[in-house]
Amino acid sequence: MAQQDTTQHQLRTVEVFGKPAEVYATGSRVVQLDSAFLSTYSSGSLAEALQARTPIYFKSYGVSGSSSVAFRGTNASQTAVLWNGLHIASPTLGQSDFSVLPLSGIGEVAVQHGAAAASYGSGAIGGAVLLNSPKYKTEGIGGDVKLETGSFDRYFGSGNLGYGSKKFSYALSAYGHLAENTFKYKDLSRFGTPEVQQEHAQVQQHGLTQDLNWHISPATELSLHGWYTFSDRELQPAMGAVNTNARQLDESLRLMAGLQHQSQLGQTDVKLAYFNDFLHYTDNSNDSEADVDTYQLQAEQTYTYGTRWSLRGGVNLQHFVARNDGYAREQEESRASLFALFRYDPVQPLQLTLNLRQALVENYNPPLTPALGFNWKFLNSNQHQVSLKGNASGSYRVPTLNDRFWAGAGNPDLKPEQGWNYELGLRHVLVQGNAFLLETEATGYYMLIDDWIQWTPNYTGLWRPTNLQKVESKGIELSTTATATLGEVKLSSTAGYTYTSSVQAAVYEGSGSDKGRQLMYVPRHKAILATEAKYKSWSLLGNLNYTGLRYTSNSETSHLDDFILLNLALSRRLQLGPNTLLLTLRSDNLTNAAYQTMAYRAMPPRGYTFSLRFILP
């Protein structure tokens, strides 16, 4: 979980101003998902990975349904999702369904905690999930094939092929996934709570990624990325609710070209992208389609002066063309934002950043969004490093295309959401030679989100979006990672705990009788313990996850019980000449816990998965 800290730690020692956007995010918490975990669980979705390894809570509509995120007590629209630096959330719904975002074909997953809208734009209120394409580093041809089979009729296959040289690299990756999800569960809603087999939860997914990097000259690099995902799902009905044969097809094509050029004026980055998101929902009485084209251009210039100053300025343009059965006609919207990110290190142990973003959107006028952060390493001895860090940042979210264009439900008075996030953290790093590294971090935050948009019925019963409430969220995030080498055993372990309190502070419509109570589906407590142990050719990956009680409405009168999930994966690496064969046996939900993340949506019991991965050098 705190892997990114290591990266940052190295970054600071190796080069002061690296490329990642985190350079301008001092004082905030950025955590990278462990690469061993990502490769072992590559057949899963981003929702499963983040649920298992981060404090973020995902509400899943069963094993086959959509997964929506709750980060620092916010809702699904209030977490931005970026792929290679560009927003990919559905512009119609304003959120990403994390269950249709596969891990396969994704190189890095990082999680930015807290508001980061000055850096990432609309929607980065509770946090941001940053996805990056893999970097193909090996010279010559390489690749791997993975085949996997698991309980409840689950099959997965993926293949990667890459070629790299000094100037050029190319990688192609494809996957296919079929899960019947024929597990048994106890139907809590039926008289006598009989054990029944899950019906109507089949998932079929496939996809493709292509990544190309070409150093045209020593100072100029061209990159092309393509990502196609297809998902056809039977939506699992809730226990007690009729199976209406609901089915959803999601198809997304994401293409982008990037150009990076180094000159005396610093680094120029231009990204041009085209996304198409198609969604087709059907059930016994509905049949609706949404098809959105998104065009994006992001251009930025980074200028670094010496080792103390760095300035990045840029512009982001988005244009949406949406066809949706709920809209009166094809609708278009353009959005622009200008940003300036500034970093200054007055003295070596102190880093300061100031970020500003001004978004310009038809019909809405989001305010200027600032972020101010610092990182002060006040103790730096041989073994110990202690830093104090903090930031204050604004955030905003522009209403979605549905909020704006849904026929008959328009609300001309709708305003963008606006948030403020304040946090303070302490970080300790203990290094003992090459054998032991302990990194500990504690963060406390306070957040206010006003004009929170929600669909509610008006006085005549018509459902439409409205700026319903102001939410106050506060919490504590603790994590500690130990990395140790004991003879031939390599151990790495992360423990994390978060406390989240998220309540309505004001309600602008209706009785507001739930003020001060915890918002639904926000666990107050979540804890994880992740361990990786390596011994010779063996490796063991363990993941223990505790999710506290969650209320199922805003009144704190009904809830889902807390649960513990244990996942274990045992791998053995066999060397076959120059090639490697990796055998993995894993068990998810080893303790066979009966749990739900969304009320009455059955989740799978204990299951086993066996996988073979053949790696060309």
Partner 1 sequence: MKKLNYFRSFFLAATLAVTSLGFTSCDDKDNIEPELPAEVRGPFDQKGVFILNEGNYTHTNSSVSFMSDSTGHAVANHIFSKANADRPLGDVLTDLDLVEDRAYLTVNNSNKIEVVNAYTFKTEAVLENLKQPRYFTALDADKAYVTEWITYGAPGQVSVIDLKTMKITKSIPVGIQPEELLLAGGKLYVANSGANTITVINTATDAVENTITVSDSPMNLALDRNNNLWVLSAGKIVYTSDWSAIDYTLTTAGALSKVTPATQNVETYTFDSNRTIPTNLVINGSGDKLYFIYDGKTFVQDINASGLSSTVFINSGFHGLGVDPETGNIYAGDHNNWTGDGTVRVYSPDGQQVSNFKVGIGPRGFVFN
Q: 559-560 and 550-551 as β-strands: parallel, antiparallel, unpaired?
A: antiparallel
Shortest Å, Cβ 28 to partner 1: 30
Angle at CA of residue 381, ends 380 and 387, nearest 5°: 25
Q: Record the tokens describing residue 411, joined without a space.
A: 């609300």
Which residue's entry shows tokens 């980060």? 71
With CB under 8 A as the contact rule, which of the stretches 52-60, 151-159, 400-408, 421-429 interacts with partner 1?
A: 400-408
Counting contacts by CB under 8 A, is residue 401 touching partner 1?
Answer: no
Quick one: 381 or 511, whose CB is closer to partner 1?
A: 511
Counting contacts by CB under 8 A, is residue 595 touching partner 1?
Answer: no
Counting contacts by CB under 8 A, is residue 602 touching partner 1?
Answer: no
Phi then psi for 281, rounded to 5 degrees?
Answer: -110, 135
> H/E/C letters for each residue in 484-500?
EEECCEEEEEEEEEEEE
Specify the DSSP element, H or E, that contains 112: strand 108-113
Question: What CA–CA distance (Å, rounded) separates 230 from 277?
Answer: 10
By CB under 8 A, what part of segment 213-242 binds partner 1?
Answer: 235, 237-242
Q: 127-132 and 79-83 as β-strands: parallel, antiparallel, unpaired?
A: parallel
Buried b vs exposed e over 338-350: b needs ≥16 C-beta within 10 Å? Answer: ebbbebebeeeeb
Instruction: Give CA separation, 560 vs 309, 402, 527, 563, 599, in Å.
Output: 50, 30, 17, 9, 7
Shortest Å, Cβ 608 to partner 1: 30
Question: What CA–CA distance (Å, rounded) separates 433 from 430?
Answer: 10
With CB under 8 A as the contact rule, which of the stretches 40-48, 251-259, 286-294, 571-579 interacts with partner 1?
A: 286-294
Q: Record the tokens describing residue 159, joined without a space.
A: 């293949």
Residue of 103, 122, 115 whose CA lies nearest to 447: 115
Quick one: 218 or 408, whose CB is closer to partner 1?
A: 408
Shortest Å, Cβ 600 to partner 1: 4
Number of neighbours of residue 7 by Cβ within 10 angstroms: 17
Interface map 409-428 toward partner 1 (x if CB under 8 A)? x-------------------
Q: Record the tokens describing residue 369, joined without a space.
A: 């969004």
3-class DSSP state for residue 36? helix
Q: Count of residues binding partner 1 (CB under 8 A)?
A: 64
Shortest Å, Cβ 333 to partner 1: 17
With CB under 8 A as the contact rule, which of the stretches 47-55, 432-440, 507-515, 608-616 interacts with partner 1?
A: 507-515
Shortest Å, Cβ 457 to partner 1: 6
Specify the DSSP element, H or E, that contains 14: helix 3-14
Counting contacts by CB under 8 A, is residue 511 touching partner 1?
Answer: yes
Quick one: 158 or 205, whose CB is closer to partner 1?
A: 205
Q: In this chain, which of 325, 360, 537, 610 binds partner 1, going by CB under 8 A?
A: 325
Quick one: 249 or 388, whose CB is closer to partner 1?
A: 249
By CB under 8 A, what part of segment 418-477 binds partner 1?
Answer: 454-457, 459-463, 468
By CB under 8 A, what part of segment 244-283 binds partner 1?
Answer: 246, 248, 279-281, 283
Alpha helices in 54-205 (DSSP H): 117-120
Quick one: 153 or 561, whose CB is closer to partner 1?
A: 561
Shortest Å, Cβ 156 to partner 1: 24
Question: What CA–CA distance (Å, rounded) separates 466 from 412?
Answer: 10
Specify the DSSP element, H or E, that contains 147: strand 140-150
3-class DSSP state for residue 236? coil
Interface map 360-389 toward partner 1 (x if CB under 8 A)? ------------------------------
Interface map 70-99 toward partner 1 (x if CB under 8 A)? ----------------------xx------
Question: What CA–CA distance (Å, rounded) separates 267 from 583?
Answer: 43
Phi then psi for 23, rounded to 5 degrees?
Answer: -55, -35
Quick one: 174 or 409, whose CB is closer to partner 1?
A: 409
Shortest Å, Cβ 248 to partner 1: 6
Q: In this chain, which of 26, 302, 402, 492 binds partner 1, going by CB under 8 A?
A: 402
Shortest Å, Cβ 285 to partner 1: 4
3-class DSSP state for residue 264? coil
Q: In this chain, which of 141, 407, 435, 486 binds partner 1, going by CB under 8 A?
A: 407
Quick one: 241 or 315, whose CB is closer to partner 1?
A: 241
Instruction: Return left, alpha or beta for 213; rule: phi > 0 is left, psi -120 to 50 is alpha, else beta.
Output: beta
By CB under 8 A, what part of segment 535-564 binds partner 1?
Answer: 552-555, 557-558
Question: Using CB under 8 A as the criterion, which residues of the chain lie in contact with partner 1 when the complex forms?
Answer: 66, 92-93, 188-191, 193, 235, 237-242, 246, 248, 279-281, 283-286, 288-290, 324-329, 402, 406-409, 454-457, 459-463, 468, 507, 509-511, 513-514, 517, 520, 552-555, 557-558, 599-600
